[in-house]
Chain A
Amino acid sequence: MRHKKTTEDRVLDAIISVILFIVVFVTLYPFYYILLITLNAGTDTAIGGMYLWPRQFTLGNYLYFLEDPKWISAFGISMLRTIAGTALGVLFTAIVAYGLAKRDLIFRKSYFLIVVVAMNFSGGLIAFYIVLKSLGLINTFGVYVIPGMLNLFFLLIAITFFTEIPEELGESARIDGASEVRIFTKIILPVSMPLLATMSLFIGSGQWNAWLDSAYFVQDERLRTLTYRMMQVINQTMVPSGEAQSAAMSRSSVTPFSIQATAMIVSIVPILGVYPFLQKYFVSGMMLGSVKG
């Protein structure tokens, strides 16, 4: 296909480049702008007119953030729920999927039906809330982790994945006297790394980004997550009732808005941190899902 370019080629290439540039700019600039706010004195940002680089460079926003026990504890809770939720969710879903992937399992069809119906039909948030309440999960850390332990979407994907693993693999180990648990942990899991990585990324980012459960299923202030705190601050800054807030923070150049931006950056950074490592897996993981629907 390497040949001389026609005029049409050149025009098309130019148009494509322009569009792609716009797409990249529109996607990245908001992140950059938020970063800019966090590195600029909040009182100065409020004047407006800052687009490309910080006018009054400061780390004050981050220092303020780090000094506030409320934010630190929220960050900790978010981290904890993400780690615990992801580990438990991935493991539990994988175990159930492994069982359901066995062709000789009795009632296999019925189990599938149960899963598919549950995926498409729900009792609604209120009924969900009542169940959580009767199980005593409301206002505990468990409410973050336990309901999400079995991820139905990934259950179906994992079943497809496991059925494609040749049965001989487990068979030979069984003849050598390996137990089921051993086969699962030593043979099945290692060959399923792409699946596990995809699941971890999705369940993990879901956990990290969740705010609804923290807002409505928990009342204990110590259990609030980072995303919930952010939502709180955003709701405050949205309605411009300036005086009370600026008075409270008058001791520094920090404003509620600059703190909000700082929290946003803090919540984006961990995602950016794991993103490059898992990226090569999730494209294929996404396709697994799309084939199954």
Chain B
Amino acid sequence: MFSYIPMFGIIIAFKNYKISTGIDGIFTSSWAGVTHFKELINDYNFPMLVRNTLVLSLLKIVFSYPIPILFAILLSEVRHVFLKRFVQTVSYLPHFISWVVVTGISYAFFSSGFGIFNDLLISLHLIKEPLNILTDPNSFWGLAVSTAIWKEAGWWTIIFLAALAGIDPSLYEAAEMDGASRLRRIYHITLPGLKGASIVVLILTIGSMLGGGLVGSNFEQSMLLGNALNSEKSQIIQTYAFTIGLAQGRFSFATAIDLMQSVISVFLIFTSNAIAKRVSGTGLF
């Protein structure tokens, strides 16, 4: 119900809607055609928004997708059961922590005023002036990607570890008998064993790319880590729609932005699924 009724709301993207008219207003307000979409494309912020959204999403895929796989392989090579379990438990702990807390932690570390990171670098005489990691637009992408990895990489490792658990141990024994070294065993047994899971996860990642992919929330990050000073790099389509819509009351315009993103996402899911099917014969649907 809370997913579907808002879908009727899409109509307001094509209309001149005012909040005072309530739900009825969605159907009674006058048609605006594609005016709001035109307005969006002509908006001077538009190129910046698209660039930020795409770059942030792509960076996250490139850097966050391989890490859980590598980490899973690493963990699978640990013989000590207790150690393995301990490291794993620790690694997915941040997944359950709110983005708000993660943001707070980033401030405690990277703030130019009281951040421990700058503190340390200065006392080691690596830098003279504190780095403005939180407010410098140029460091926002790096900050967003690294905090995202910190928070979610351990969590996605679970899926790959489960895939590894499904590999028949006799394969390893046979390879060892034949004199294969450990690296060779990883290369010839572990990696092929991860193929299925990797593809499924890659489809999921690309499908949810605009939302931030595996490591979650572009929106929350841009809302929380973004600020007036770094907005030229942190403002993305979704946050723009949100601020425009709720703060300025331009509901139709904001919905047009949301709708565009939704359509692109659905398109991405189907394309990535189709490509995966063709390349490897497996897909989600």
A positions within 8 Å CB-CB of B: 1, 6, 8-9, 12, 16, 19-20, 23-24, 26-28, 30-31, 33-34, 37, 45-46, 48-51, 114, 118-131, 133-134, 146-147, 150, 152, 205, 208-212, 216, 227, 230-231, 234-235, 237-240, 257, 260-261, 264, 267-268, 271, 275, 279, 283, 286-287, 290, 293
Q: Which residue of B has the minimal Cβ distance to A30?
A: B105
> Do residues A23 and B182 form an inter-chain contact, with CB atoms below 8 A?
no
Main secondary structure of the interface of B (DSSP, over half): helix
Partner of B116 from the list A19, A51, A146 (CB cut-off 8 Å) is: A51
> Do residues A231 and B7 form an inter-chain contact, with CB atoms below 8 A?
no
Q: Does B279 contact A (CB under 8 A)?
A: no
Interface locus among B46-54, B56-64, B106-114, B137-145: B106-114
A126 to B74, CA, bound (A): 44
Partner of B3 from the list A50, A122, A134, A146 (CB cut-off 8 Å) is: A122
Q: Does B265 contact A (CB under 8 A)?
A: yes
Q: Does B2 contact A (CB under 8 A)?
A: yes
Partner of A34 from the list B19, B105, B150 (CB cut-off 8 Å) is: B105
Q: Does B254 contact A (CB under 8 A)?
A: yes
Q: Which residue of A has the minimal Cβ distance to B247?
A: A216
| Nearest chain B CB to A133 CB, angstrom units | 7
Contacting residues, chain B, for A152 (C-beta < 8 A) = 3
Q: Which of A6, A30, A119 has the most CB of B within 10 A?
A: A30
Q: Does B96 contact A (CB under 8 A)?
A: yes
Q: Does B176 contact A (CB under 8 A)?
A: yes
Partner of A121 from the list B93, B114, B242, B266 (CB cut-off 8 Å) is: B266
> Do residues B100 and A209 form an inter-chain contact, with CB atoms below 8 A?
yes
For window 16-57 of B, CB contacts with A under 8 Å fall at 19, 22-23, 26
B positions within 8 Å CB-CB of A: 1-10, 12, 19, 22-23, 26, 71, 74-75, 77-78, 83, 86-87, 89-91, 93-94, 96-101, 103-105, 107-109, 111-114, 116, 119-120, 123, 134, 150, 154, 158-159, 162, 172-173, 176, 181-183, 197, 200, 204, 207, 220, 223-224, 227, 238, 241-242, 245-246, 251, 254-255, 257-259, 261-262, 265-266, 269, 284-285
Q: Which residue of B has the minimal Cβ distance to A229?
A: B100
Q: Which of B105, B204, B265 has the most CB of A within 10 A?
A: B105
A45 to B111, CA, bound (A): 13
- Beyond A23-B91, A205-B96, 14 additional contacts (C-beta under 8 Å) are A48-B116, A120-B265, A124-B6, A124-B10, A209-B99, A216-B246, A230-B100, A230-B101, A234-B224, A260-B104, A267-B101, A286-B159, A293-B204, A293-B284
A283 to B89, CA, bound (A): 11
A210 to B223, CA, bound (A): 13
> Do residues B104 and A1 form an inter-chain contact, with CB atoms below 8 A?
no
| Nearest chain A CB to B199 CB, angstrom units | 11
* Given contact pairs A45-B114, A127-B258, A227 touches B227 in the complex (Cβ within 8 A): no
| Nearest chain A CB to B225 CB, angstrom units | 10
Q: Which residue of A has the minimal Cβ distance to B227?
A: A238
> Do residues B101 and A9 form an inter-chain contact, with CB atoms below 8 A?
no
